[in-house]
Chains A and B, each alone.
Chain A
Amino acid sequence: MLIEIKNLVKNYIMGDIQVPALKNVSLTIDRNEYVAIMGPSGSGKSTLMNILGCLDTPSDGQYLFDNVDVSTLSDDALSIMRNREIGFIFQNFNLLPKMNSLQNVELPLMYAGVPKAVRRERAMEALERVGLADRMDHKPTELSGGQRQRVAVARALVTKPGILLADEPTGALDSKTGVEIMALFDELHRDGNTLILITHEREIAEYSHRIIQIRDGLIFSDEKNHRSNDVEQKIYKTRG
């Protein structure tokens, strides 16, 4: 098991009231799974993502990542976990605007203490992997939305993390570009990466192989997803 969550609880304190965001969630995710976590806004899926992504710690329960209990780690240790094991892909890309693609992709390696020459090489590899070999010295403002998201994917990939955690990755893209990104995810999955997709759109969740639905801080359903012909068709088409 790569990820093992047992009886996870997360409460937020708002003034005097305790607001439960997650009430007793348990789930396991294996290596090389492609999971979509679905739910409407306010369901607790973002809270779950924050905890899975080591951005936040649970109020109660256990989170084992590769048999390491993450819920008890210090702030520094969580930073290191995020750096090495988690590749974030955000809805609004979250690239640093003053840096070009290559520098953006190098950034996680810089915090990992990788020497400059090695860093450059690995960042270039990652950008090639997402098909942006010719956009390395472009700044985010000089790139299209799809290209920006590819840079973000390259940045997530570059440290060879345990999981890729994508939060509404197509939310800011038009549908055609969205499909391209989903096709890229599919390739990454076939390369052996573990993908966790957070979304509220059924259409996007359909690309995954397992869909977990969350409602009101609880797991509502957790089932295997056999991709429809339609989805396979879309992916096939983009591959050309």
Chain B
Amino acid sequence: MQFEEIVRVALHALMDHKFRSFLTMLGIIFGVASVIAMLSIGEGAKREAIAKYQDLGVNNIIVREKKLSNAELEEVRARFSPGLSINDARVIKEIVPEVVQVAPQAEKEAEVKMGDMSAKSTVIGITPAFVEILNYETEDGIFISTDHYNNSLKVCVLGAGLANSFFPNQSALGKMVKVDDQWLEVVGVMKSKAVFTETVGELASRDLNNDVYVPLTTFNKRFTKDNLLESEIKQITIKVNSSGKLMESAALIRSILDRHHFNNEDYSIVIPFELLKQEEKERQIYNILLGAIAAISLVVGGIGIMNIMLATVMERTREIGIRRAIGARKKDIMSQFVVEAVAISITGGLIGVVLGVVLSFSISWFTDVTTFIRVYSIFIAFFFSVLVGISFGYLPAKNAANLKPIESIRYE
């Protein structure tokens, strides 16, 4: 018998019992759907993490001052550490060969006012190199330029959130805002950034959209420190030419800073790329677990197929006997039942794929879990559903083929 015939016979058998076939499929449908949904959750989490670290720069090393209490600060100063300084940044750029660019930044909690509105914000004094190192883009206007920096102009760039609440439905460009006691002109507005929900090393989680960027020169000239002992800058972001050199460069940077800070551990080094790799490793276990749970449901679906197929073979003993009497060989009967099982699993698999995609979109729509469907996950789920159909259809099909024609034809 030709393959096409076998398929036709099998499909007929399934269509004769639509409801039963559908019930049999349910296991596969949910199995495939959950595999796709689970994989999409894993992938979504991965993409979110990558996006987060990409914001910090995969080729970057971040040197951040440790949060120290006043007593600790006094102690490190007494031990001659001047804290992070613009000079540190300059030296790192000069000495470490892989370093492409450095961006020192100073920070200060401040109140930003516009008319009768005010907001708590972080003022960040930066150099023009900042925008080049971190992939920050302006939505409107320009970022702090060399001209602003060299002339310590009283300008600022607002975070998207701040601009939105102060200047809803209008351009903030050219407007004046008051930061602490300084009037600054808005020259640019940042693109909205994902809210930083997790603490990465020393980098505390906060909403970057409420930041105000000013030239570092202006910052130093116009804003007074909260505490005289505070370091000149809070953070140095260092860009290296290749992510393969991150560890070596970090080691070199550490030895430079140790020397400058007289071995006071008042700073910490964060390597986003390394953290990403580490996080990925941790997440992998979690993903395997999710996948395994989904795979179990697929197997359970397969057992459902086997169960129904075994019952079907019993029920169709007489039909099998008739087919055998008029010339069907064992393998004809065998392939008929295997193809039936596979047809159930393929159809169930296809419905499951659709359901899985819908499920995955609904998850990201109705909850704050990000999902992302990779095409390969659809193929994996589908492939396994067919495999399940073949393997769990095999036993019932073998039973059917091994029925003795004389006995089965008289079976009532």
Complex interface bits, A133-173 against B, C-beta within 8 A gives 1, otherwise 0: 00000000000000000000001000100000000000000
* Contact among A88, A98, A113, A159 for B2, CB-based, below 8 A: A113
How far apart sit A76 and B328, CA to CA, in the bound complex (Å)?
9
Interface positions of A from 82 to 129, Cβ below 8 Å from B: 82-84, 88, 90, 94-96, 98, 107-108, 110-113
**Cα distance A80–B323 in the bound complex, in angstroms:** 12
Contact A80 B326 (CB under 8 A): no
Q: A82-B325, A83-B327, A113-B1 are in contact. Are A94 and B332 (CB under 8 A)?
A: no
Chain B, residue nearest A95 (CB):
B322
Q: Does A56 interact with chain B (Cβ within 8 Å)?
A: yes
Q: If the complex has contacts A56-B406, A94-B409, are A107 and B323 also in contact, measured as CB distance less than 8 A?
A: yes
Whether A79 pairs with B1 at a CB distance below 8 angstroms is: no
A110 & B325 in contact (Cβ 8 Å cutoff): no
Please tell me if B225 contacts chain A, counting CB pairs below 8 Å: no
* Contact B332 A111, beta carbon cutoff 8 Å: yes
A55 at the interface (CB under 8 A from B): yes
Interface size class of A (residues with CB under 8 A): 20 to 34
Q: Does B282 contact A (CB under 8 A)?
A: no
Q: A94 — which chain B residues lie within 8 A by C-beta?
A: 318, 321-322, 325, 409
Check if B154 is an interface residue, CB within 8 A of chain A: no
Q: Chain A residues with Cβ under 8 A from B319's Cβ? A: 96
A84 nearest CB neighbor, chain B only: B327
> Does A82 lie within 8 Å of B326, measured CB to CB?
yes
Q: How far is the CB of B184 from chain A (nearest CB, A)?
A: 84
Smallest Cβ distance from A36 to chain B, in angstroms? 21
Instruction: Give the residues in chain A near B332, CB-CB below 8 Å.
Output: 79, 111
Nearest Cβ distance between residue B363 and chain A, in whole angstroms? Answer: 42
Q: Flag A54-68 by CB within 8 Å of B: 1 or 0 each.
A: 011000000000000
| B198 CB–A CB distance under 8 Å | no
CB of B116 closer than 8 Å to a CB of A: no
**Chain B residues closer than 8 Å to A84, beta-carbon distance:** 327
Residues of chain A within 8 A (CB-CB) of B5 are 110
The answer on a CB contact under 8 Å between B326 and A108 is yes
A96 to B325, CA, bound (A): 12
Interface residues on B, range: 20 to 34
B27 at the interface (CB under 8 A from A): no
Set of chain A residues within 8 Å of B324, measured between Cβ atoms: 79, 82
Chain A, Cβ-Cβ closest to B321: A94
B327→A108 contact, CB < 8 A? yes
Are A55 and B329 in contact (CB-based, < 8 A)? no
Is the pair A79, B329 in contact by a Cβ cutoff of 8 Å?
Answer: yes
Residue A11, interface by CB 8 Å: no
For A56, the chain B residues whose CB sits under 8 A away are: 406
Set of chain B residues within 8 Å of A95, measured between Cβ atoms: 322
- Pairwise interchain contact A111-B325, C-beta atoms closer than 8 A: no
Do residues A82 and B330 form an inter-chain contact, with CB atoms below 8 A?
no
Which B residues are in CB contact (< 8 Å) with A53?
A: 325
In the bound complex, do residue B406 and residue A76 qualify as a contact, i.e. CB atoms below 8 Å apart?
no
- Judge whether B327 and A111 touch: CB under 8 Å: yes
When C-beta atoms are compared, the residue in chain B nearest to A46 turns out to be: B406
List A contacts of B42 (CB < 8 A): none
Does any Cβ of A come within 8 Å of B368's Cβ? Answer: no
Q: Scan B257-287; emit 1 where CB is below 8 A from any A CB, else 0.
A: 0000000000000000000000000000000
- In the complex, whether B12 has a CB less than 8 A from a CB of chain A is yes
- In the complex formed, the residue of B with least CB distance to A99 is B12
Contact for A80 among B16, B318, B327, CB less than 8 A: B327
Q: Which of A111, A155, A159 contacts B1 (CB 8 A)?
A: A111
- A155 partner residues in chain B, CB cutoff 8 A: 326
B260-318, CB < 8 A from A: 318
Q: Would you call B405 an interface residue if the criterion is a C-beta within 8 Å of the partner chain's C-beta atoms?
A: yes
Chain A: minimal CB distance from B234 (Å): 79
CB of B16 within 8 A of CB of A79, answer no
B378 CB, nearest partner CB in chain A, Å: 35
CA distance A82 to B328 in the complex (A): 9
Give CA–CA (A178, B185) in the complex, Å.
109
B326 and A111 contact, CB distance less than 8 A: yes
Q: Check: A50 CB closer than 8 A to any chain B CB.
A: yes
Determine the distance from Cα of A216 to Cα of B123 in the docked complex, in whole angstroms: 111
Select A110's contact among B1, B406, B409, beta carbons within 8 Å: B1
What distance in Å separates the Cβ of A199 from its nearest Cβ neighbour in chain B?
17
Complex Cα distance, B331 from A159, in Å, reads 21
The reply to whether B406 and A88 contact each other, CB–CB distance below 8 Å, is no
Q: How far is the CA of A90 from the CA of B1 in the complex (A)?
A: 24
The answer to whether A88 touches B1, judged by C-beta atoms less than 8 angstroms apart, is no
Closest beta carbon of chain A to B335's beta carbon, Å: 12
Residues in chain A near residue B328, CB distance under 8 A? 79, 83, 111
In the complex the two chains form, what is the Cα distance from A96 to B326 in whole Å? 12
Q: Which residues on the B side are within 8 Å of A112 (C-beta)?
A: 327
In the complex, which residues of chain A have a beta carbon less than 8 angstroms from the beta carbon of B409? 55, 90, 94
B321 surroundings in chain A (CB, below 8 A) = 94
A76 to B334, CA, bound (A): 13
Closest to B402 in A: A75
In whole angstroms, what is the CA distance A34 to B239 when docked?
A: 100
Which chain B residues border A55 with CB–CB below 8 Å?
325, 405-406, 409
| B1 contacts A80, C-beta separation under 8 Å | no
Closest Cβ–Cβ distance, residue B14 to chain A (whole Å): 12
Extra pairs beyond A83-B328, A94-B321, A113-B1 (12, CB < 8 Å):
A55-B325, A55-B405, A56-B406, A75-B330, A79-B332, A82-B327, A96-B323, A107-B323, A108-B326, A108-B327, A110-B5, A113-B2
Interface residues of A (CB under 8 A from B): 50, 53, 55-56, 75-76, 79-80, 82-84, 88, 90, 94-96, 98, 107-108, 110-113, 155, 159
| The 4 A-B residue pairs with the shortest CB-CB distance in the complex, in nearest-first order | A83-B327, A79-B329, A111-B327, A108-B326
8 A-B contacts (beta carbon < 8 Å): A55-B325, A83-B326, A83-B327, A88-B326, A98-B12, A107-B323, A110-B1, A111-B326
